[in-house]
A and B are shown apart, each in its own frame.
Chain A
């Protein structure tokens, strides 16, 4: 009986590879990514440098490993911001459906949605200067309304169910019902959304770094590796292909994992498969 979906296995395997590489980079990388040795510039793959070097003589494999760390850290914290702020807001809006609070929360969400994330990121960096931290904040802010909406939508349909009425006749308040009955039953929606937002966070970090608003040198990032490779793309295409493939594989892995997770977490789907 194939109880774990194949898509989840593939996605999880890809994700684990990147997370392991990122974790390993804290302890060890094949070469130092901060030292520029011009003598080693543009080495081909193989030999001392497994994937070759860039135009400054940095080892590409080491850069990809540390870049994975940057991507994961930025996306993880940004999704964390979105969940910790967005989910309670969405639950509160659903619990107080139709009230002023609901309107304020949801119209506030609309306001954030109305601005393109890149514009806000440029605004933040214009005020506070470009850095990985500011990229995290900019991406995180845009995750809040996404999670608030998913949480509210899922919660609204649950609030009409009899078991919520039963909990109310058991004297439980809205806060308690939200925590005990609503949140666990929308958890699968949130987990799936989190993996999607995580992959979007990886993309957003790469985009911000590409235009120079994300991680700053010397900290390597996949987005900046792409922009550095821009001028060399005809002579040394691997410089662009490698970080590009890293981004694609990571996003694909996360999406596949999210898909598989949904299949596994939904008890109704689980029962149907058995």
Chain B
């Protein structure tokens, strides 16, 4: 078992962790939850002794009788991979793109004393089989695998030598819900069979609720509450835990008054990409959006859900008039939407993107950033500065913020700036492309409130694109479910969520980890 005792960490004198204590018995799953910057990953890196330069850790971290904090780098090299395994969030960057998956799993075995390459490869094959890759050849390269398969390879390498402690840092955050469910099942199964300890780090309460035996909640470098999962999540003794819970299940206050007027109409749209080159010719074109039709009404909030690669983003780009479509028609306010559409139409459809860091030119001040869509107007309004100030006020920022650069803001504030920029031309349709997916739950709740409030006041229509079913359920009136370029189901949000008709929708809903189930289950166990 692993026992962490009053672990504190400072980097260049700045305290990062304070008195973190936890213990994970053999064969158990320990969940560490918290928002970004709370110190979850730093706790894991302290155990692995993979800390950045200038970091100083104090306290104890005992793996059975070995204090990891006092080991030298050479001793840690013997432990990492052998007794300590780690899985990271992004399986693409965690694997070496120019090495076959077999070699990467075998590498761990060779480093830790397996004598021959052939023997190592034989064991590697066995480990890949164990993580469910029986049908994947050893000589495949990472780019030939899907995200879920890549994460399985990472797991195979991490558990190749049956470590005593496996650390999984947001192992499913980059994956789709159905893949997430499979990876979580695999981890649970490995823990049960090998009797290792698993430290599961996540921001998602629903994931720990369904996985962990024990859970610790972290806030600003400290564990504010810990205990058996059912107790912690049900009793919610600490206000921060309560806050996290409330934010996760947050229901923004919406007054929905969709009117019959159709603002945006998408009819039989097909968008194809050229097929891959095969020698001198090209394979048949690939349809990323395949015969999609729907309508968006005034004041309505329409959800578009689907897993990565289903064509959501391609459809978004077509609706924004950024890319041409090969067949069908899109029209907004009665005008056709094409890359050549007039600026007056363009001003009516604006967008908020997912990444609050990549959404702004880092060299521009907020005033110039928010004012950029004024380019769509015939001439720059004379009261441009006042309108920027108004837009910033509308999203809960102050007018003085217009003199700052984007890097001076937090992720949530940047998303507010992105919304201000989208609103500056008074659009009637706002496309929200995974607009809250990169945010922490508490910030996400605030942004959802803001969006609901803006819709109530300005009668905006939202096209809300997301892979997160909970969020879509909380903010939309109607929902479209997209799979492989096609809309497989559409209808009133509540109806689709309570009685999904299409098997794909059913599987999405079944795979999504939910807080409700643990609450019911814990009711039963606590009695």
Q: Which residues does A use to contact B, with CB under 8 Å?
A: 161-163, 165-172, 180-181, 184-185, 267, 271
Contacts and interface: CB of A to CB of B under 8 A. Distances in A.
Nearest to A158: B361
B416 interface: no
B350 interface: yes
Contacts of A184: 361, 363
A171 B418 CA distance: 16
A184 B368 CA distance: 14
Interface string B401-415: 000000100000000
30 contacts: A162-B353, A162-B354, A163-B358, A165-B317, A165-B353, A166-B351, A166-B359, A166-B372, A166-B418, A166-B421, A168-B322, A169-B320, A169-B321, A169-B322, A169-B346, A169-B349, A169-B350, A169-B351, A169-B373, A170-B346, A170-B372, A170-B373, A171-B343, A171-B346, A171-B375, A171-B376, A184-B361, A185-B361, A267-B362, A271-B407
Interface string B322-365: 10000000000000000000010011011101110011111100
A117 B270 CA distance: 50
B361 A181 contact: yes
Interface in B355-399: 355, 358-363, 372-373, 375-376
A184 B360 CA distance: 13
Nearest to A160: B358
A162 B358 contact: yes
Contacts of A166: 351, 353, 359, 372, 418, 421
B347 to A, nearest CB: 8
Interface residues of B, number: 26
Contacts of B372: 166-167, 170, 172
Nearest to A182: B361
A163 B360 contact: yes
Contact of A185 (B317, B349, B351, B363): B363
Of B359, B361, B362, B421, chain A has the most CB atoms within 10 Å of the CB of B361
Contacts of B317: 165
Contacts of B407: 267, 271
Contacts of A165: 317, 322, 351, 353
A180 B360 CA distance: 12
Contacts of A267: 362-363, 407
A35 B322 CA distance: 68
Contacts of B355: 162
A162 B346 contact: no
A169 B372 CA distance: 10
A185 B406 CA distance: 14
| 8 nearest A-B pairs in the assembled complex, by CB-CB distance | A162-B353, A170-B373, A162-B359, A162-B358, A171-B343, A171-B376, A161-B358, A170-B372
A185 B362 CA distance: 8
Nearest to B373: A170
Nearest to A271: B407
Contacts of B376: 170-171
A261 to B, nearest CB: 16
Of A166, A167, A181, A184, chain B has the most CB atoms within 10 Å of the CB of A166
Contacts of B360: 163
B407 to A, nearest CB: 6
Contacts of B354: 162
Contacts of A167: 372
Contacts of B421: 166
A180 B350 CA distance: 20
B279 to A, nearest CB: 18
Nearest to B418: A166
A56 B347 CA distance: 75
Contacts of A168: 320, 322
Contacts of B361: 163, 180-181, 184-185
A70 B95 CA distance: 52
Given A161-B358, A169-B321, 4 more contacts: A165-B351, A166-B359, A166-B372, A168-B320
A172 B349 CA distance: 15
Contacts of A170: 346, 372-373, 375-376
Nearest to A176: B375
Nearest to B424: A170
A181 B363 CA distance: 9
A180 B407 CA distance: 19
Contacts of B321: 169
A159 B136 CA distance: 35
A48 to B, nearest CB: 54
Contacts of A172: 372, 375
A161 B354 CA distance: 11
Nearest to A167: B372
Nearest to B371: A170
A201 B320 CA distance: 47
Contacts of A163: 358-361
A270 B512 CA distance: 42
A154 to B, nearest CB: 14
A163 B375 CA distance: 15
Nearest to B357: A162
Nearest to A161: B358
A91 to B, nearest CB: 16
A167 B350 CA distance: 11
A132 B317 CA distance: 53
Contacts of A169: 320-322, 346, 349-351, 373
A118 B353 CA distance: 50
A170 B358 CA distance: 16
A104 B207 CA distance: 52
A184 B361 CA distance: 9
